[in-house]
A and B are shown apart, each in its own frame.
Chain A
């Protein structure tokens, strides 16, 4: 099941990962569960950037939190380097927390409003044992300079509300990378920013990723930003990864009907688009508490094969070495 084809050592391996939330009635009766992440497999090499794309409610953020160890997986495992993560192992988690950075969606909410930028950047270092204050200072200065927040002294004593949205997000990025992590999980980092600063922030992230050889998991609902960023794309639907592949391949030669629909929905600033209607699959994203049988996309799929798609969940079919898709259109149901 490994996708590591010798391009570099594997950093993060997610195997059959499941994160379910139990639904309870009257506080104790179990009445079901929300299958937010339901059998996710992927492999991430050191220094690689991948995008996980999907619409709201498909389990992207839960996947991110599970990878970060903020959410206990109910099944499967996350391998980091040569270790298997165990959220109850305190020492391992303490070590792991310094190896991963987290960039959130809402930059203002992600920064404690009562702390100065300096304090915000110092917190992870204090917690993770960077004791010397001169070293902390050096790291802060370096991080902020790299993110083009100069003069550094001017920003350090500011509070988050005194910064613009782009600056806030840069502080969030600085905080995520101040411990020199090997992996940064970034959950919709630009969706709440002005379109004018999105590209700039993404380019900064890309630059950091290349300069420091940090692996990045970039989670987004917006395929149009993916181009700027990653080497591979994972498309997520209903708690599962339904198509994985290199960026160019997915963008040019998408296989899964859902991916095609997503690509169709990208808005290009082209005046001719004013009068064209886009083919968007009808229906709503599946309920994760009660997912459809078989392929999760089959109720909305225009190419549905009755008797197969609504019965059996599709396995992963290999298109090329790098391109895999979970769809019965490309395989044999028998």
Chain B
């Protein structure tokens, strides 16, 4: 294999190979980072988690990077909590049991656009009697708007942006707009920047009762990759999709290439019925569309990525490649050195593994490298068809969600673009490397 190493050194002379290697290297670094920073179980928990896990994220917002575009000033999510800042709270003992309290939660809003949503979460600790609160909103110009009043339980969510009554009182403007607008009549409404305040006053009716509040001002941007319809951070799927895609492509390519090569060599060497069976199996599998078989397996049996990997390997073993390898081995079989090996007593298996296959390896390396992205795409295709692994966060699953939720129709381009770019980069990296390898290792292409 020294000869192979020496030839691989020639890669440096092909710029496409260098770029391809850099891309592959970056993807591998990304994979390692993903696996280290988010353990597998955590990634699955996050990806499968619903509103409970992702309550603090806005829904369907693009990545924070869009703020770097000129003229874009989208708000980020703000979370105010009375528990984190106890100084916001004032208490006054009225009687033995009753305590009056006021929580004022001031914040500065300087963005050019309105938040995506507004929610408040109250939690109270009591025995029998629920605390009573009044919530009001104070704008920078001093105008005070009554939001709600009522009793709170141990966990009460108040979705301010879904409060119909409030919307009516704000001239029909959605609350997250109306509450931040400079002038309710203006069209389009303008943001009033400055110091806002959410004031909660109320009464606790028990000696040991307590109350805390949280205001979430959902932003219009989130993180590195934005969020999806379930408020999930897409970057988790993008990050974890990298090792999954790479290892899937690599394992499937290794599995199918090696087995195909060995089968082709064994068939050619033993010829007769061994070759006959392998060729007939290949011809049958060639007329079966692999995607159809995969859809069948996925629908009727299992969508687990391991099952899919196995099926893809089996389908790929008996693919057209076996015919290519076979023609190659037919040539090698006739080589005088194989005859010489027989003359000094090499047994059949030794000839197959030590004399036929090593000769073919350099020709097959480029094919192997270009096969990887094809299999990565196949996995994404399966996910897009709804046959992705039900548990794992993958690029294909992100695309599937985007498509199912009309991302392009609704203008959520980031949702489609980021996984697509990663898929294209993967394809590009491996193809560029593969083509360069092909020129180096495939003597017929030399000098072209």
Contact = CB atoms under 8 A, between A and B. Distances in A.
A114 B345 contact: no
Contact of B346 (A101, A102, A127, A159): A127
Interface in B327-364: 335-337, 339-347, 350, 354-355, 358-359, 361
Contacts of B344: 97-98, 101-102, 123-124, 127-128, 175, 179
A86 to B, nearest CB: 15
Given A94-B345, A97-B343, A110 B350 contact: no
Contacts of A114: 1, 3, 358-359, 361
Which of B345, B346, B355, B359 counts the most chain A CB atoms within 10 A? Answer: B345
A282 B336 CA distance: 33
B1 A109 contact: no
A93 B443 CA distance: 37
A105 B1 CA distance: 26
Contacts of B446: none
B346 A70 contact: no
B444 interface: no
Given A109-B336, A112-B359, A102 B343 contact: yes
A93 B345 contact: yes
Interface string B344-388: 111100100011001101000000000000000000000000000
Contacts of A97: 343-345
Contact of A128 (B2, B339, B345, B354): B345
B358 to A, nearest CB: 5
Interface in B296-343: 335-337, 339-343
A123 B351 CA distance: 11
Contact of B350 (A109, A111, A127): A127
A100 B359 contact: no
B359 A113 contact: yes
A111 B344 CA distance: 13
Interface in A161-178: 172, 175
Interface in B1-41: 1-3
A10 interface: no
A30 to B, nearest CB: 17
A176 B339 CA distance: 13
Contact of A123 (B339, B341, B358, B359): B341
A180 to B, nearest CB: 12
A192 to B, nearest CB: 11
B2 A70 contact: no
A68 B343 contact: yes
A104 B340 contact: yes
Main secondary structure of the interface of B (DSSP, over half): helix
B337 A109 contact: yes
B1 A70 contact: no
Contacts, number: 65
A97 B340 CA distance: 11
A124 B336 CA distance: 15
Nearest to B6: A159
B441 to A, nearest CB: 12
Nearest to A159: B3
Q: How large is the interface on B (under 10, 10 to 19, 20 to 34, 35 or more residues)?
A: 20 to 34
A87 to B, nearest CB: 11
Given A109-B335, A127-B350, A100 B2 contact: no
Nearest to A110: B336
Contact of B336 (A101, A106, A175): A106
Contacts of B347: 127
A116 interface: yes
Contacts of A179: 344
A68 B2 CA distance: 33
Contacts of B2: 116, 159
A127 B345 contact: yes
A270 B410 CA distance: 93
A112 B356 CA distance: 9
Given A110-B337, A113-B359, A116-B2, A70 B343 contact: yes
A70 B354 CA distance: 19
A93 B343 CA distance: 10
Given A106-B336, A110-B336, A110-B337, A70 B342 contact: yes
A113 B335 CA distance: 11
Nearest to A157: B2
B83 to A, nearest CB: 70
B337 A111 contact: yes
A55 B340 CA distance: 23
Contacts of B355: 112
B341 to A, nearest CB: 7
Interface in B178-220: none
A127 B342 CA distance: 11
Nearest to B339: A70
Nearest to B350: A127
Contacts of B350: 127
A175 B340 CA distance: 9
Given A97-B345, A98-B345, A127-B346, A110 B3 contact: no
A55 B339 CA distance: 22
B352 to A, nearest CB: 13
A258 B166 CA distance: 117
A115 B289 CA distance: 40
A105 B336 CA distance: 9
B346 to A, nearest CB: 6
A112 B345 CA distance: 15
Contacts of A68: 343
Contacts of A100: 343
Given A127-B350, A159-B2, A159-B3, A112 B343 contact: no
Contacts of A115: 358
A32 B118 CA distance: 92
Contacts of B337: 109-113
Nearest to A107: B336
Contacts of A124: 344-345
Interface in B106-130: none
Nearest to B334: A109
* The 3 nearest A-B residue pairs measured at CB: A97-B345, A124-B344, A102-B343
7 contacts: A65-B339, A68-B343, A101-B344, A102-B343, A106-B336, A114-B358, A175-B340
Interface of A: 65, 68, 70, 93-94, 97-98, 100-102, 104-106, 109-116, 123-124, 127-128, 159, 172, 175, 179
Given A113-B337, A128-B344, 19 more contacts: A65-B339, A70-B339, A70-B342, A98-B344, A100-B343, A102-B343, A104-B339, A104-B340, A109-B335, A110-B340, A112-B355, A123-B344, A123-B346, A127-B344, A127-B350, A159-B2, A159-B3, A175-B340, A179-B344
